[in-house]
Amino acid sequence: MGILEVIKKSFAQTTKLMNLVIVFFVFNAVIGLISLPLSNPDRVANPGIIAVSAISSILFFFIFILLQGGALGLVKDQIKTGSSNLSQFAEYGKKFYVKILSLLLLYVLVAIAAVLVLGMLSAGVLFLGDNILTRSLVALIVTAAAVTMITLLVYPIYVVVAENVGAIEAFKKGISVAKDNFIKTLGLFMGLLVISLVLSLIVGFITGLIAVPLGGNISQVIIAIVNAAVQSYVSIVMMVAFMSFYLSISGSSQSGGMETAQI
């Protein structure tokens, strides 16, 4: 089964997980609505607003980890058995919470190391001469490095849930699987990215036509809610696509899901 077929079936599977989409929609909508007054240009420099923004961001981050664990657990069930039970959402969230948090902290360390290495490499290239050629070379290096890192780091979080292993083991296995299937993984990632961008642009354009004429706070609220709906739906589609793809290329057994993916 090709990349396009994987994406197509991911959308089909997501229709069976609409209760999960609703959970993410509520979370994203709350974030979007809370962010409206906090992002007001007239108040953004207010120390109180800065404090509230920082605290709410940290709180939402920890809640997001819980949602990720719960969602991926249900996605795995849907793919492997053909059904999922929302009542297990909180259980999965708690089960994988520490492992996913540890993995995300590991990602942060990797990102910091990558920034330092790329910074020194870029400085070295620019030291040879600050011109269009060297700047283009730096941009090419940074872009290639970013795409490579994103592709290699796609699967560890899926390994955590699918294999129920720790962050370090999941990190190693995820990268190994991605390396062995780099082109397929990159193709799936780019395909989902293009679809999500197109969908967001279309929905955003239509929403703008309807909401902007209303003006003021009403239009901002409508746009925030619609954006939350799109983000939530696309997020679950991506989870389904990558989880099913990982299960197929890693050799994990599944029944109710998708066949082995090929280009």
Predicted structure pTM score: 0.86
Render each residue's pLDDT in the chain as its tens digit; 263 residues: 578 888 999 999 999 999 999 999 999 999 988 887 776 666 656 777 777 788 888 999 999 999 999 999 999 999 998 889 999 999 999 999 999 999 999 999 999 999 999 888 888 887 777 788 888 888 899 999 999 999 999 999 999 999 999 999 999 999 999 999 999 999 999 999 999 999 999 999 999 888 878 877 888 899 999 999 999 999 999 999 999 999 988 865 444 444 444 44
Listing DSSP states for the chain in one string gives: --HHHHHHHHHHHHGGGHHHHHHHHHHHHHHHHHHHHHT-TTTTT-HHHHHHHHHHHHHHHHHHHHHHHHHHHHHHHHHHHS---GGGHHHHHHHTHHHHHHHHHHHHHHHHHHHHHHHHHHHHHHHT--SHHHHHHHHHHHHHHHHHHHHHTSSHHHHHHHH---HHHHHHHHHHHHHHTHHHHHHHHHHHHHHHHHHHHHHHHHHHHHHGGG-HHHHHHHHHHHHHHHHHHHHHHHHHHHHHHHHHHTT---SSS-PPP--
User: How do residues 214-257 score in pLDDT, each as one tens digit?
Assistant: 877 888 899 999 999 999 999 999 999 999 999 988 865 444 44
- pLDDT > 90 in the chain, percent: 64
The pLDDT of residue 43:
64
